[in-house]
Amino acid sequence: MQKLIAYRLKQYKRYGNFSGVGSGKTISAILAGQYVGAKNTLVITFNSTIGNEDERGWTNEIRNAVKNANIYTKTDKDVTFSENSKNYLVLNYETFQQTDSI
Q: Which residues of the chain have pLDDT under 70?
A: 53-54, 98, 100-102
Q: Are 90 and 59 in contact (CB under 8 A)?
A: yes
pTM exceeds cut of 0.75: yes
Q: Where are the alpha helices (DSSP H) in the chain?
A: 2-12, 25-36, 58-65
Q: Are 102 and 55 in contact (CB under 8 A)?
A: no
Q: What is the pLDDT of residue 53?
A: 61
- Number of C-beta neighbours around residue 2 at 10 A: 15
Classify residue 72 by its DSSP letter: E
Q: What is the pLDDT of residue 80?
A: 87
Rounded distance between C-alpha atoms, residue 9 and residue 3, angstroms = 10
Q: What is the pLDDT of residue 102?
A: 52
Q: What is the pLDDT of residue 16?
A: 79
Q: What is the pLDDT of residue 100?
A: 65
